[in-house]
Amino acid sequence: ALKDCSQVVKVIGDPARMLLEGVDMVRFAMPRMSGDLTGLVQGRALSERIRDRVAKQLIAGMYEMHTRQVVHLDLKLDNVLYTALVDTATGELADVCVAYADFGLSAVNVPYDSLFEGVRGSGAYVPPEMWQEDRKWNPYAADVYSFGIMIYALYYASFPFHTSEKKNQHFTKFQLAQAWQRKTPTDALDALWPCHSLSTVPASRREIFDRCLQIDPSKRFRFDQRD
């Protein structure tokens, strides 16, 4: 479903055909990449231009996946690979090209009104509805929340909270700020982490957090609808 998507890692070869031909171990060959985004974010100081460049590609990849009815369900910086283009004269990053990888938990041909159950994903990226006992959740909305956390981690090299469970005091404050005080996600995050104030960042970035980090899944942005 994603063979022609520019923001998805390409697999060279056909694993199904290899199995039919009796190959004992299927090996996946991929283009050479520089590493994953966690390593990039933690390993060097990135300019706002580079972070914005990465964010735009991540957004494009979400459109490509969701409009083709593919949900990733394990979105995180670790699962995005990048190729770095370095300015040979200065040694600085000139550009970064990224691609989503690791579709082990993903699902394809998923109607938008589908409901899943259980917990999928990793740590701080897991949306709050997955932690609610016996609750079914929408996979597209879950992806969108994880995407919002991923963008936050891209820009601030940290997470707003380590888990979106009620046992986490930071998440509880974030949830109550939205539910009782009617704060937007960005205002709620500002109250939690004044040192990472979003009041001065570009409106386009604030919009990402406001539209992706809604506690109520029905209020989150839909990448399958270009608006």
Of 15 and 224, more confident: 224
- Report which of 79, 67, 73, 62 is spatially closest to residue 7, judged by C-alpha positions: 62
| Predicted local confidence at residue 100, as pLDDT | 95
| Predicted local confidence at residue 26, as pLDDT | 43
| Global pTM value | 0.88
Q: Is 107 exposed, middle or buried (0-12, 13-18, 19+ CB in 10 A)?
A: middle
In which residue are the tokens 């942005």 written?
Answer: 221
Q: Using alpha carbons, list the distances in angstroms from residue 209 to 56, 97, 127, 227.
A: 14, 23, 14, 16
| Predicted local confidence at residue 18, as pLDDT | 46
| Predicted local confidence at residue 202, as pLDDT | 87
Chain segment 169-216, per-residue pLDDT in tens: 999 999 999 998 899 999 999 999 988 888 778 898 999 999 999 999
Burial 152-183, CB ≥16 within 10 A → b, else e: bbbbbeebbbebbeeebebbeebbebbeeeeb
Chain segment 91-108, per-residue pLDDT in tens: 788 899 999 999 989 999
SS3 content of the chain, % helix, strand, coil (to 5): 40, 10, 45
* Euclidean distance between CA atoms 104 and 74, whole angstroms: 8
- DSSP 3-state assignment of 84? strand
Q: What is the Cα gyration radius of the chain? A: 18
Candidate list 24, 36, 52, 74, residue with the active-site label: 74
Q: Residue 156: CB partners within 8 Å, gap ≥ 6?
A: 196
Residue 143 known to be catalytic:
no
What's the count of helices (H) and strands (E) in the chain, helices before strands?
A: 7, 5
